[in-house]
A and B are shown apart, each in its own frame.
Chain A
């Protein structure tokens, strides 16, 4: 069964460093998302991406964040200068976007736990 994959599973970095979180969405999906979950808190929407551009972003997604689909398969989230409060689990999701009942279902990856020291 197709699945969304994410690497690495755990990333430890020093404050101020850049990190890139990687996701491989399901191959025929057209819409991509990043969410984050700070420990003990709710899941929060960060950004959605379609047709090689950001379609929507939340207030959390400031200038320190960027997303890219560099090669048609990977979907990356970059944090330019990490802060302590960026420590969280980051989930990637993809959605087919085709017609039918499954068009609005997002499939999630296992997440990357980012720890900023």
Chain B
């Protein structure tokens, strides 16, 4: 079975500071990993994904994440936070074709940006 753990339901950083949102997963098959962002009262937007290949993946809005198999982690980072980054971020894992690539979600981390 697959699962996702996001450490910290709320993370608060100052504008311009480093953003680090943590995600650990468990999966019995090679995982596909995703980060989604949800702005207030909006849907889910894909930030970035890891499927195969390069373990450091870059996404939209200056975010990136690194797949570390040995640590079963896929942490999301951004060098310099902007006020517009305030949102909720979800890490998700999907299996392979056998599971129809259904997504298993973490509980989400609300990112708060302090001016």
Contacts and interface: CB of A to CB of B under 8 A. Distances in A.
Interface of A: 31, 33, 35, 41-45, 48, 50, 55-56, 91, 95, 101, 104-111
A111 B51 CA distance: 26
Contacts of A56: 99-100, 102
Given A91-B44, A110-B43, A42 B105 contact: yes
A111 B45 CA distance: 12
B43 A45 contact: no
21 contacts: A31-B101, A33-B103, A35-B105, A42-B107, A43-B103, A43-B105, A43-B108, A44-B105, A45-B103, A45-B105, A48-B102, A50-B100, A56-B102, A101-B51, A104-B32, A105-B49, A107-B46, A108-B43, A108-B44, A109-B43, A110-B42
A112 to B, nearest CB: 10
Interface residues of B, number: 22
